[in-house]
Amino acid sequence: MTGFEFDRVASDPLAWLRKWKQDHDGKIIGCLPMYTPEELVAAAGMLPVELLGTTKPMALVNAYLHPNLCHAMRSNFELALSGEFDFLDGLIFCDICDQTKRLGNLWEMYHRASFSFHLRLPKRLDTKEAKAFYQDELRRFRAALERFSGNKVSDEALNQSIVLYNQVRKLISQLYDLRRRKPYLFSATEVDTIIAAAMFMPKEKFKQDLEQYLETKKATSAPVRNRPRLLICGNPCESTEPRLLEIIEQAGGRIVDDYVYCGAMYLFPPVSEEDDPITALVQAYMDSHPCPTKHNPKKSWAKYIVRLAKQSDVNGVIVLLPKYCEIYAFDYPELKEELGTAGIPHLMLETDHSGATARLRTRVETFMEMLQR
Amino acid sequence: MKDTEGKIHPLQAHKKMQALLDANYRDMEQAHATGKKIAWVTGQAPTDILLAADILPAYPENHAALCGARRLSTVFCQIAETHDYLPDLCSYARNNLGFCLSERRDLAGAALPPPDILMAVSMCNTHVKWWEALSRHYRVPLLLLETPFVHDSLSPDDIKRAFRYAENQLKEMVTFLEEFCHRPYDYDRLQQSIANSSKAAKLYAEFLSMAKHVPSPITSFDAFLHLAPMMNLRGYPEAVDYYQLLLDEVKARVRESFSAVGEERYRLYWDNIPVWSRLGWLARKFATYGACAVAAFYPWLWVEAFGRLNPERPLESIAESLVLYYQNKGTASRIDFPARLVKEFQVDGMVAQVSVTCKALVPDQLVIAKEVQRVTGVPMVIIEGDMVDERLFFEAEVERQIDDFISVLAARKHRLT
C-alpha cells in the first residue's frame, strides 16, 4: 500500500479507467505491451493505457487459443471476448513476437474495436535500415492517430508530451534510487503498484502524485533490518504477480531493484528533447536497454542483468520466466551462465498467474535460506 | 472396414534423392578440408545469396527432421534440457542445440559440421532466438533478415515499405559477404542460383498438384519426404533435375490410375508440420482405412518462398517473396489458402495436428482450422503431437481420435451416397 491514488488504480485498473472516462469524457487507447511510444498517443489528446491482462480464471478464450500460449496473450484475449475492454476507444498492437502479432489479428477478427493499429516495431536494433523503417512507421502511426482523434499531432504537442514523459521518467529514477538506498522503506508490492498505476493514469496526474509520494517517502523512516538484497528480472508483457512479491518478502527477501516490464522496463530510456521528435522517439527505441524480444548482437540481456545486479549490490537474482514465453526462455541459459560466472546466486521461477503459489513459496524460501547461510 | 493392409508405396525416385542428399552431406563434411565455408540457415532463408558467395548452406531443421525420423531427437532434446533450455521450447531447436552441446556425434545419423556463418529470417521468431543462441555458441556472425509482418489492414504502400526494408538488408548482407569471403560478389551466380531455386519450386508445386487426381498417386507424407531437396539442394541444378524425375514418375502413376493407399476411400487435408518421428506410423494408419492425405499447406511454404523468385530482379524478388510469405501474413488472409486446397483437392476431412512446441504456427492454428471448416463445410479432427519430441506424441490417444474420425467420415459418405 502506498496510501496514494496508485493503490486504487492498481487494484482494479479497468474499474478506475471506466470511472475516469465518465468524469473526463476522453478517449482511452489500449496498448498491447510492450514498447508503444505512448508519447504520440498522448500528444493526440488521448489516454494511452497498457493492457495487463487478468488473473481471473479464463473460459471464453479456450474456444480460440491452445493452452500452450502465454498468459499475457490468453488473458488479454479473454478480457476482449468477455467485453471487459469494450470501454476502450481504440487499440494499439505492437509486433513483439509471433504470439502478440496473432493476438492482434484474432482480436480484429472476433472483437473489432472502432480503431486499431498494428505498429510494426523492428526487431533488429543493429542496423540503420531498421531505423529508417521505424521512422516511416512512426509517421504512419502519427497520421493514423490524427485521423482517429481528430487532433493534429504537431511537433510542438509531441515535444511537450516527450517533456512530460521524461519528467515522469526522472521521478521514477528517483524512486528507484531511493529503493536501492533505503529498501526497508518499501513494502513488497509498493514499487510494482506505482508502476502499474503509471500504466493507466494520465501522466500529468501521475507525475503530481509521484512527486508528493516521494516527498512523503523521503521524510519517513523505518527500522533498517538486514535482509538479503534481491533483483527481480524477466516477466515481459505483463504485471508481476503481487502474491509472488509478498512471498519473497515473507521469506525474508528484499527487492531493491528490478528489470521487469511492470518496473524498470516500462518507459525507459529517456527520449531526447533536442532532436526532431519522431527522430528522438526512434533513437530512444533503438538505444533501449537490452530485451530478448529485440535483436542486437552488441547488447546482451544477460550481461545487462549482471551489471544491474552488481550496481545494485544484490545478494541474489530472481528470474521470472512466463510459462510459454519462448523468447525469454531462449535467453535463460546465457543468463544463468553469466550470473554463475559473476558468482551471483539466482533462482529461476516459471510464472503462470495461476495463483498456485505453494511450490513457488517452497522454492523462494529455500533460496532465501541459502542466501542467508 | 479394415480391408487394406495399411501398405504404403514409396516412390522409386526416393533412392535417387537419398543418393543426392548423401552426396550433399558428404560435401558438407569435406567443406572445411576443401576451404569452403558453411552456413547454418533456416528453412526459408535466402540461400541463393550464399550460394553466389560459394558458401554451402546446411539446414539444422532438416537435420532435426532426419534425427526425428531416425528417432534420435528425444535424446538430443533431453541434452538441451540439461543445459537449461526449457522443455516447452521448439523441439527442432532443442534437437539442434542438444546436438551442438553434446559430444555424441555417433548418434547424429548425418554430419552437420560447425558453421562459419549463420543466416535466419525473422518470420518465425523462434528462428531468431535459436540462431542467436547458435551465434553465441559458435562465435560466428549471424545474418538476420527481418521481414516486417504483413497485417491484413496494411495498405499496398505500407507493404512496399517492408519490401524496401528487406531489400536493403539483403544489400547489406551482400556487402558483408564480400568482406567475409574476400572477393567480389558474383551476381551472375546469384541469378543462376535464383533461376534454379524458382524452377525447382515450380516443379515441386506441380508434383504436389498431382494429388488432385482421384485416386491420388501420392500422399502428403510423400510430399513431406520429398521436401528435403527443396532445402539442401535449392539453388543447384540437381534439385531441378530431381524434381523433374520425381514428377515424371508420378505422372506415370496417374496414367495407370495408381492409388497411393490401395482403394482410396477418403481424401484428407493435413494441417501443420509433419510429426517426423511418426511419419511412417501415420501414413500406414491412414492407409489402413484407405485414407489418403492429399493436401497440406506445409510443403507449399517452400513454393511460396521460392516459386516467385525472378532472376531478373534478384534481391527485390527475394524481399517480396519472403515478406509476403504465408506465415508472415495476417490471420484473416491465411484462411483462403487452406480453404482453396481443401476444395481443389476434393478433401473429405481435415486433420489438424497441433505441434505443441511450435510457437510460430500454433497461435492462430485453431482459429484458421475453425474458419476453414466453416467456409468449406468439411469436418475436422484436432490431434496433438510435435515435430520431433516423441514424449509429446500420445499414440493411443491419437489412434483413437483417428479411428473415431474415420467413422465420422464413413457415416457422412454413407449419408451423402
Summarised one tens digit per residue, pLDDT across range B346-385 is 999 999 999 999 999 999 999 999 999 999 999 999 999 9
Report pLDDT for B404: 97
Between CA A25 and CA A11 the distance in angstroms is 22
List Cα–Cα distances, B38 to B7, B22, B196, B205, in angstroms. 40, 16, 20, 28
Q: pLDDT class for B195, splitting at 50, 70, 90?
A: very high
pLDDT of B160 strictly over 90: yes
Burial degree of A65 (CB within 10 A; 0-12, 13-18, 19+): buried
pLDDT level of residue B110 (50, 70, 90 thresholds): low
pLDDT band at A355 (very low <50, low <70, confident <90, very high): confident
Contacts of A160 (CB under 8 A, 6+ apart): A43
Rounded to a whole number, what is the distance in Å from the CA of B112 to chain A's nearest CA? 22
Interface test with A, best of B42, B79, B82, B84 (most A CBs within 10 A): B84
Residue B290 is predicted with a pLDDT of 96
**pLDDT above 60: residue B134:** yes
Note whether A73 contacts B363, CB cutoff 8 Å: yes
Edge-to-edge strands, sheet with B117-121: B55-58, B37-41, B117-121, B142-145
- Contact between B315 and B171 under an 8 Å Cβ cutoff? The reply is yes
- C-beta separation of A262 from A242 below 8 A: no
Straight-line distance from the first to the last Cα atom of chain B, in angstroms, rounded to the nearest whole number: 17
Q: Which pLDDT belongs to residue B108?
A: 61
More confident residue, A104 or B110: A104
Q: What is the mean pLDDT of residues A241-266?
A: 95
What are the φ/ψ torsions at residue B279 (nearest 5 degrees)? -60, -50
Q: Say how far residue B53 (Cα) sits from the centre of its chain.
A: 25
Mean pLDDT of B190-210: 98
The C-alpha atoms of residue B292 and residue B305 are separated, in whole angstroms, by 26
Distance of CA A28 to the CA centre of its chain: 18
What is the mean predicted confidence (pLDDT) over A206-233? 95
A74 neighbors A50 (Cβ within 8 angstroms)? no
> Which residues of A are less than 8 Å from B42 in CB distance?
none
Handedness of CA B325, B326, B332, B338 (dihedral sign): positive
Across B22-38, average pLDDT:
92
DSSP 8-state code for residue B325: -
Please compute the mean of the pLDDT values over residues B389-417 and round it to a whole number.
93
C-beta atoms of A68 and B88 within 8 A: yes
Supply the pLDDT for residue B303: 95
Q: Does residue B3 have a pLDDT over 50?
A: no
Q: What residues in A contact B81, CB-CB < 8 Å?
A: none
Beta bridge partners of B144: B120
**pLDDT at residue B200 tops 90:** yes
Give CA A51 to chain center in angstroms.
10
pLDDT for position B5: 58
- Output the pTM of the full model: 0.96
Average pLDDT of the segment spanning B227-239? 96
Going by the DSSP 8-state scheme, the letter that residue A252 receives in this structure is: T
C-alpha distance from A56 to closest chain B C-alpha (Å) = 21
Q: How far is CA B361 from the centre of its chain?
A: 12
pLDDT band at residue B4 using 50, 70 and 90 as cut-offs: very low
What is the average pLDDT across A258-267? 96
Peptide bond into A277 cis (omega under 30): no
Amino acid occupying residue B232: N
Angle (CA) B256-B261-B265 rounded to 5° is: 100
Tens of pLDDT, residue by residue over A286-323, are 999 899 999 999 999 999 999 999 999 999 999 999 99
Contact A97 B125 (CB under 8 A): yes
How many separate helices (H) and strands (E) can be counted in chain A? 14, 8
Min Cα separation B183/chain A (Å): 23
What does the pLDDT average to over B193-221? 98
The strand pairing partners of A348, in sequence order, are: A319
For chain B, percent of residues with pLDDT exceeding 90: 92
Cell of B331: 490471420
Number of residue pairs across A and B with CB atoms under 8 Å? 139
Nearest C-alpha of chain A: how many angstroms from B303?
22
Beta pairing class for B37-41 and B117-121: parallel
Averaged confidence pLDDT in chain A: 95
Question: Which residues of chain B have a CB within 8 Å of the CB of A99?
Answer: 359, 363
Grid cell locating B292: 489418403
DSSP letter (8 states) at residue B363: T
User: Is the pLDDT reported for residue B104 higher than 80?
Assistant: no
Is the per-residue pLDDT at A358 higher than 90?
no
pLDDT surpassing 90 at residue A227? yes
Distances (CA, A) of A251 to A225, B171, B401, B409: 14, 55, 47, 58
**Which of B79, B131, B151, B375 to substitute to test the interface with A, most A CBs within 10 Å?**
B151
| Pairing relationship of beta strands B117-121 and A28-32 according to DSSP bridges | unpaired
> What pLDDT band is residue B1 in, cutting at 50, 70 and 90?
very low
